Amino acid sequence: MEAKELRDGQSTEDILVLAIESSCDETAASVVRNGREVMSNIISSQIDIHTLYGGVVPEIASRKHIEKINQVIEQALKEAKVSLDNIDAIAVTYGPGLVGALLVGVAEAKAISFATGIPLVGVHHIEGHICANYIEHKELEPPFVSLVVSGGHTHLVKVADYGVYEILGRTRDDAAGEAFDKVARAIGLGYPGGPKIDKVSKEGNAEAVEFPRARVRDGEYDFSFSGLKSAVLNYLNSEKMAGREIAVADVAASFQKAVTDVLVEHSMNALDAYGFKKFALAGGVASNSALRSAMKEACEKKGIELYYPSPVFCTDNAAMIGVAGYYEYIKGVRSGLTLNAVPNLRLGDR
Ligand code: KG4
Ligand code: ZN
């Protein structure tokens, strides 16, 4: 590749990453400088079309990604006021996620890398969610503990160093966000359920219904949410059979409290056991207002510094992939053109 052309105000030391994310229903591209500064963050959401079907339809997601990806990347470069000549690395989510959706981003990133010679760095989606915390908290550095709660994942992770992770606990069945989405559908709030339950719960009584707080016997930090979801469904059925009207806000608030109680308890136990004083929330459910305030209260009691990203960096975005990609790139990680989408990629695998 030819010598890098410099933009105004850019130093030769600057490292610019173009990041691409297409693992689920957001087509996103971003330019990130030196791993911490977001120069552009373009997200094309498919939520309207998937709402018609009550959830993400993988085939539609792939097709929409193909339609949008080029313009999203062009816009990300334009808003950052850079061209591909300024870019040092291309970071792309290669797993976990929907295989057809991931493939669109991976193929695009490989094509740009092949045409320009810009090195390619494959990024783990969950690593991206954790790294979203570095964007607005410039002082945050590992080690710390992170709770990643999204539509597809619930992971309690020890972040030992940049790119070095140890999974302390994970869900045995449904992800936290998935439970929010399923319960929202059952109580008639529709898709996507998380934000709707969050909103309606503000008018509800979280003590109204006693839902179970599941523990996993052989996994101190593991989670299980399918029993809670069944308990909500059973409750709704028995109320209907008894001819009683469902108090939607109360059910939502009680369900939300059951989820947050377990998330808080396991996170605090892990922080105690490992002796960490820093804790970072990540993923779509990290936007949840009840979860944030419960974590805040618990962390204050223990003198633990709590971090979480703004909502735009909690849900899927490419800026977080650019941050994670930067730290992999400066460690010397390069993916090459054999990079493939890995729908069930595990954190720590390469
Ligand atoms: O991280 P994300 O955008 O995508 C995945 O990687 O899965 O997370 C989406 C999930 C959905 O299940 C959505 O309902 C949930 O995050 N979510 C919320 C809130 N905002 C989004 N859950 C609870 N409260 C919220 N405010
Ligand atoms: Zn995600």
**Are residues 122 and 190 located together in one domain of the fold?**
no
Higher pLDDT, 8 or 245: 245
Q: How confident is the model at residue 38 (pLDDT cuts 50, 70, 90)?
A: very high
Q: Is the pLDDT of residue 49 over 90?
A: no
Q: Mean pLDDT across the stretch 220-228? A: 95
**Are residues 117 and 172 located together in one domain of the fold?**
no
Instruction: Give per-residue pLDDT as tens, 252-307.
Output: 999 999 999 999 999 999 999 999 999 999 999 999 999 999 999 999 999 999 99
Cβ pair 114, 96 in contact under 8 A: no
How far is CA 243 from its chain centroid? 40
Cβ of residue 151 lying under 6 Å from some atom of ligand 1? yes
Q: How confident is the model at residue 1 (pLDDT cuts 50, 70, 90)?
A: very low
d(CA 130, CA 145) in angstroms, rounded, equals 10
Looking from the CA of residue 177, the nearest atom of ligand 1 is 12
Q: Is the pLDDT of residue 142 over 80?
A: yes
Please report where in the chains the tokens 């990300």 appear, as a residue: 76
Cβ of residue 25 lying under 6 Å from some atom of ligand 1? no
Cβ pair 149, 267 in contact under 8 A: no
Which of 27, 285, 295, 314 to probe ligand 1 with, by most ligand atoms within 8 A of CB?
A: 285
Cβ of residue 288 lying under 6 Å from some atom of ligand 1? yes
Q: Mean pLDDT across the stretch 213-234? A: 92
What was the pLDDT predicted at 50?
83
Which of 314, 315, 345, 347 to probe ligand 1 with, by most ligand atoms within 8 A of CB?
A: 315
* Least trusted range by pLDDT, from 3-7, 82-86, 156-160, 315-319: 3-7
Q: Is the pLDDT of residue 220 over 60?
A: yes
Q: Is the pLDDT of residue 2 over 50?
A: no
**Are residues 238 and 216 located together in one domain of the fold?**
yes
CA-closest residue to ligand 1 atom 14: 194
**Are residues 154 and 92 located together in one domain of the fold?**
no
- Ligand 1 centroid to Cα of residue 331, in Å, is 31
Looking from the CA of residue 97, the nearest atom of ligand 1 is 6
Q: Which residues surround ligand 2, an ion (CB under 5 A)?
A: 150, 316
What was the pLDDT predicted at 5?
59
- Ligand 2 centroid to Cα of residue 79, in Å, is 23
What was the pLDDT predicted at 47?
83
Stated pTM of the model: 0.94
- Ligand 2 centroid to Cα of residue 28, in Å, is 12
**Are residues 120 and 255 located together in one domain of the fold?**
no
**Are residues 194 and 74 located together in one domain of the fold?**
no
Indicate the SS3 state at residue 236.
helix
* Integer angstrom CA distances of residue 295 from 29, 33, 213, 263, 302: 31, 31, 17, 9, 11
Domain count, the chain: 2
d(CA 282, CA 308) in angstroms, rounded, equals 6
Whether 5 is covered by a domain: the verdict is no
**Are residues 67 and 166 located together in one domain of the fold?**
no
Q: Is the pLDDT of residue 6 over 80?
A: no
Cβ of residue 201 lying under 6 Å from some atom of ligand 1? no
Q: Is the pLDDT of residue 111 over 90?
A: yes
CATH code for the domain of 288: 3.30.420.40
Q: How confident is the model at residue 39 (pLDDT cuts 50, 70, 90)?
A: very high
Which of 41, 93, 180 to probe ligand 1 with, by most ligand atoms within 8 A of CB?
A: 180
Q: Is the pLDDT of residue 7 over 80?
A: no
**Are residues 161 and 280 located together in one domain of the fold?**
yes
Q: Mean pLDDT across the stretch 8-31? A: 88
Cβ of residue 211 lying under 6 Å from some atom of ligand 1? no
Cβ of residue 181 lying under 6 Å from some atom of ligand 1? yes
What was the pLDDT predicted at 8?
59
Indicate the SS3 state at residue 89.
strand
Q: Is the pLDDT of residue 211 over 70?
A: yes
pLDDT more than 70, % of the chain: 96
Looking from the CA of residue 178, the nearest atom of ligand 1 is 12
Whether 1 is covered by a domain: the verdict is no
Tell the burial category of 349 from Cβ atoms under 10 Å away from its Cβ (0-12, 13-18, 19+): exposed
Q: Mean pLDDT across the stretch 237-248? A: 96
What was the pLDDT predicted at 208?
97
Whether 7 is covered by a domain: the verdict is no
Q: How confident is the model at residue 223 (pLDDT cuts 50, 70, 90)?
A: very high
d(CA 270, CA 302) in angstroms, rounded, equals 12
Q: Mean pLDDT across the stretch 123-150? A: 97
d(CA 15, CA 4) in angstroms, rounded, equals 11
Whether 66 is covered by a domain: the verdict is yes
Q: How confident is the model at residue 116 (pLDDT cuts 50, 70, 90)?
A: very high
Cβ neighbours of residue 25 under 8 Å, at least 6 residues apart?
A: 45, 46, 47, 50, 56, 61, 64, 101, 316
What was the pLDDT predicted at 350?
63
Domain ranges, residue 230: 140-309
Whether 98 is covered by a domain: the verdict is yes
Whether 54 is covered by a domain: the verdict is yes
CA-closest residue to ligand 1 atom 1: 284
Average pLDDT, the chain: 94
